[in-house]
């Protein structure tokens, strides 16, 4: 871990260059460019609200904000892990020519998506104002799930990037897995509105759902007092998987040159 931090400081300039390059390449062929970071969650929220408001959000005036909170966090986790997964193979030619700490690639990919995620919060702020959601001091607590999800995405991204070098089909398997994650995040419905709430334990096994719950608590002016399970579970999982990701990546990185 000490060497990990030392190399990160030593190559910090290169790290931020990789972050900027990822952001530029993402919107290189787009007419609207970075504005899609704002438009995509807004359009998705509108579609989901129109489809599910009468079915699952009836009587909830703040249903669009509810949807957007879940969608923003899930989109960051989904996009961040998918780009991290392919990051080592993507830079295979560079790995064979010049020494760069290999974990720079998945971490910079995640951070570039995190910057896009933070920018997209402008949309959430606008929708909150439009829906007249009261802003309280609890909104500061949103920094907790926002920070924790960054470490969780980095950890999962490091693990995926490692094994994708040796097992190329992981990309397709992870796409299917993300679908399962999405449906157990309660993005466009509420768990307590389901008929069979006895299966709520499924949602409690999803750390991303826990972070979405905490984020919604902060946005809607509630504290974490009633969701302490989600707080401690998401903290333990996120930082645990982050440490695990560093260990796995560190042990396998010397073999990357043989497969990329």
Give 133-146 pLDDT, tens digit per residue. Answer: 888 999 999 999 99
d(CA 7, CA 246): 13
Q: Please report how the helices 12-26 and 2-10 are oriented relative to each other, as an axis angle in degrees rounded to 10.
A: 70
* Structural domain for 239, as ranges: 2-254
Neighbours of 32 (CB within 10 A): 11
- Secondary structure of the chain as H, E, C letters: CHHHHHHHHHCHHHHHHHHHHHHHHHCCCCCCHHHHHHHHHHHHHHHHHHHHCCCCCCCCCCHHHHHHHHHHHHHHHHHHHHHHHHHHHHCHHHHCCCCCCCCHHHHHHHHHHHHHHHHHHHHHHHHHHHCCCCCCHHHHHHHHHHHHHHHHHHHHHHHHHHHHHHCCCHHHHHHHHHHHHHHCCCCCCCHHHCCCHHHHHHHHCCHHHHHHHHHHHHHCCCCCHHHHHHHHHHHHHHHHHHHHHHHHHHHHHHHHHHCC
pLDDT of residue 118: 92
pLDDT value of position 53 = 64
Neighbouring residues of 32: CB distance < 8 A, sequence distance ≥ 6: 39
Query: Which among 72, 80, 77, 82 is positioned nearest to 175, based on CA atoms?
Result: 82
The answer as to whether 226 is a domain residue is yes
Contact in structure between 89 and 260 (CB atoms under 8 Å) = yes
Q: Find the helix packing angle between 36-52 and 63-90, rounded to 10°.
A: 130
Per-residue exposure over 59-77, b if at least 16 CB sit within 10 Å of its own CB, e if not: eeebbbbbbbbbbbbbbbb
Predicted confidence band of residue 32 (pLDDT cuts 50, 70, 90): low
Confidence of residue 33 (pLDDT cuts 50, 70, 90): low
Quick one: what percent of the chain has pLDDT higher than 70?
A: 87
Contact status, residue 116 vs residue 23, Cβ threshold 8 Å? yes
Q: Report how far apart, in Å, the C-alpha atoms of 18 and of each of 12, 14, 27, 87, 246 are.
A: 10, 6, 15, 11, 19
Q: Is residue 259 part of a domain?
A: no
Q: What is the mean pLDDT of residues 146-170?
A: 95
Indicate if the alpha-carbon torsion angle 106, 107, 109, 114 is positive or negative. positive
Residue 103 scores a pLDDT above 60: yes
Residue 260 placed within a domain: no
40 domain-assigned: yes
In tens, the pLDDT along 175-204 reads 999 999 998 898 887 777 665 656 677 888
- Inter-residue contact 187 to 74 (CB < 8 Å): yes
Residue whose structure tokens are 């984020």? 215
Q: Is there a domain that residue 214 lies in?
A: yes
**Structural domain count of the chain:** 1
**What's the pLDDT score for residue 84?**
95
């Amino acid at each position: 871990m000490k060497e990990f931090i030392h190399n990160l400081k030593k190559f910090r300039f290169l790290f931020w260059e990789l972050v900027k390059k990822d952001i530029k390449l993402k919107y290189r062929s787009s007419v609207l460019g970075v504005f899609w970071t704002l438009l995509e969650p807004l359009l998705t929220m509108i579609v989901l609200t129109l489809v599910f408001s009468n079915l699952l959000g009836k009587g909830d005036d703040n249903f669009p904000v509810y949807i957007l909170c879940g969608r923003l966090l899930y989109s960051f986790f989904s996009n961040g892990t998918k780009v991290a997964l392919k990051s080592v193979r993507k830079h295979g030619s560079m790995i064979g020519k010049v020494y760069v700490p290999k974990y720079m690639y998945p971490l910079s990919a995640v951070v570039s998506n995190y910057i896009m995620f933070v920018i997209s919060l402008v949309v959430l702020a606008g929708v909150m104002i439009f829906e007249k959601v009261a802003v309280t001091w609890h909104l500061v607590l949103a920094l907790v799930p926002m920070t924790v999800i960054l470490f969780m995405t980095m950890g999962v991204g490091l693990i995926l990037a490692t094994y994708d070098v040796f097992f190329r089909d992981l990309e397709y398997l992870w796409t299917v897995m993300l679908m399962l994650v999405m449906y157990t995040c309660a993005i466009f419905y509420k768990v307590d509105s389901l008929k069979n709430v006895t299966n709520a334990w499924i949602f409690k096994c999803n750390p991303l759902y826990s972070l979405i719950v905490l984020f919604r608590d902060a946005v809607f002016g509630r504290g974490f007092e009633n969701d302490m399970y989600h707080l401690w579970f998401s903290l333990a999982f996120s930082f645990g998987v982050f440490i695990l990701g560093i260990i796995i990546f560190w042990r396998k990185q010397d073999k990357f040159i043989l497969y990329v």
